[in-house]
Structures are given as C-alpha cells and as structure tokens.
Amino acid sequence: MKAKVKDYTTNQGIAIMMEHLSPGKGGRHRQTSSYGRSPDLTLSPRQILAQEVWNVRSIYFSHRLYNSSIKKSLQMLIQLNQETWPTVFYKGVI
C-alpha cells in the first residue's frame, strides 16, 4: 500500500487474525501466498485485496474450516478497506 497510496503508513493497515494450526509451526498465515514476499506492484490495491481474500478463503476451505464466521470476517475486511480508503478500493477506481 505504501507504494500505491499517498500518505499511507503501515499502522493504518486493516487485517484479520488467522489462528495457528499448532504452536511453533506458524499457522495459516504462513500458508498465504503473500507471506514473506514483496507485493506485485503491477496490480492495483483492489486486485491485491481480492487476491488476498481469495487466498485466505481457499486456505480455510482446504482445512474444512470455512464457515459463516470466516466469510463475515472477510466481508468486513473488504468493507473496512473500502470505507477507510474509498478512492483506492471501490470498483472503477484506477
């Protein structure tokens, strides 16, 4: 986001907490495609958010844990990003 959004700082980021599978193994967060990687700056923040949400959803599906609570959390994540950064995340914004 810093590279794409003027005046953005890391403490303004919106995220969800992903619980650990087991202590010491890093949990589901380490299974995300973006863990430990730099973002693809050729994509828009909206595209990256969509990619991240899809990835998290897939991880929970693969563990047979995807449910209405996870779905609601991901929807809230999208909504909060849209409300906090309306010029960045709403559809049609370049």
How would you classify residue 65: left for phi > 0, otherwise alpha for psi between -120 and 50, otherwise beta?
alpha
The residues of the chain scoring below 50 in pLDDT are none
| Of residues 41, 85, 62, the one with CA closest to residue 77 | 85
Supply the pLDDT for residue 45: 85
